[in-house]
Amino acid sequence: MNRGLRLFTPAIPAVVAVGFFVSFANWIPQTHWAPPKKLALSADLTPAELARAGATIVRERGCMACHTMEPGAGVKGGGRGPNLDGVAARRAQGVAGAAPNVVDYLVQSLYEPGAHLVEGYPNIMPPATAAPAKLGYEEVTAVVDYLQSLGGTASVKLGELPKPPGSGAAAPVAPAAAPAVAAAAGGAQLLTDMGCVACHAPAPGQQAIGPVLDADSIRKAAGERRVSPEAYLMESIVEPAAYQREGFPAGLMPADYGTKLTAAQLKSLVAYLLGEAGS
């Protein structure tokens, strides 16, 4: 409840923030973001039991910020990503040239969403093993079983799926020891290393799920929030829920960067975003 209380403290912006929050909560079938908790999945679970765990994972790890579960709506639901209801029936034969069966297809959709794009959708889905979902190998199995159960029958046991591509290298959270020499250059690297670029484009005109991070837009947003651009950036990165930008999904940006970035890294990011981004 802490976050809720903090949301109400500043009197005037609170009214605005709460208004946005309420309308987003109606728009997206997900009203809060909990930092990823790894589920304990024991080796003897059946595919059907794994599917039930997968349902919880999909609900709690941000998938529904983009996807919907609309019975009978076909692939095009009302979300930013495909409707997942009936996905296993639609993809029973996988996709030609990419994955020859439903399991291979679902695994590829999670590990490398950009490898085959569902027609009519942009390449905005982060790999399920990266932020914000950060699924572990066993959680991927549970999610595949769950997706298979949407129009088909769960069939995968733990240990049967391939491991994520480049396991280790794919993890975006390795704390980069940013050398203090060139703060701004360190900032650019951090945007990649911390996974920010999965959701933010550095320059206007590029499609992304989060706001464009160019210096002009940031100054404008800071003006609306009535704080300095530096303070606005710090708050946005460390406490994303404190202020909600209109037109963007609530609860999608990970809330734990404050614990992952050192103070020096945060300063590099702020310097970079205000100094050089958008040029």
Smallest gap from Cβ 273 to ligand HEC, in A, equals: 7
Q: CA–CA separation, 218 vs 270, rounded Å? A: 10
Query: What is the token pair recorded at 260?
Result: 């992952």
Number of other CB atoms surrounding residue 224 within 10 Å: 14
244 binds ligand HEC (CB under 6 A): yes
Window of 7-15, 37-45, 108-116, 173-181 that interacts with ligand HEC by CB under 6 A: 108-116
232's enclosing H/E stretch is helix 229-238
Closer CB to ligand HEC, 69 or 199, in the complex: 199
Residue with tokens 């390795």: 174
x/- map, 57-96, ligand HEC, by CB under 6 A: -x--xxx-xxx-------x----xxx----x---x-----
Residues 6+ apart with CB under 8 A from 237: 257, 258, 261, 266, 269, 270
- Helix, coil or strand: residue 30: coil
Q: Which of 50, 143, 150, 156 binds ligand HEC (CB under 6 A)?
A: 143
Residues in 154-213 that interact with ligand HEC by CB under 6 A: 194-196, 198-200, 209-211, 213
Closer CB to ligand HEC, 147 or 156, in the complex: 147
Smallest gap from Cβ 159 to ligand HEC, in A, equals: 20
147 binds ligand HEC (CB under 6 A): yes
Closer CB to ligand HEC, 7 or 194, in the complex: 194
118 binds ligand HEC (CB under 6 A): yes
- Which parts of 64-136 fold into alpha helices (H)? 87-90, 102-111
50 binds ligand HEC (CB under 6 A): no
Bridge partners of 83, per DSSP, are 68
Residues 6+ apart with CB under 8 A from 89: 150, 151, 152
Closer CB to ligand HEC, 44 or 93, in the complex: 93
- Helix, coil or strand: residue 242: helix
Closer CB to ligand HEC, 49 or 224, in the complex: 224
Inter-helix orientation angle 215-225/263-275, to 10°: 110
Q: CA–CA separation, 32 vs 37, rounded Å? A: 14
Closer CB to ligand HEC, 52 or 80, in the complex: 80
190 contacts 269 by C-beta, under 8 angstroms: yes
Residues at the contact surface with ligand HEC, assessed by CB under 6 A: 58, 61-63, 65-67, 75, 80-82, 87, 91, 106, 109-110, 113, 117-118, 121, 123-125, 128, 131-133, 135, 143, 147, 194-196, 198-200, 209-211, 213, 217-218, 221, 233, 236-237, 240, 244-245, 248-249, 252-254, 257, 269
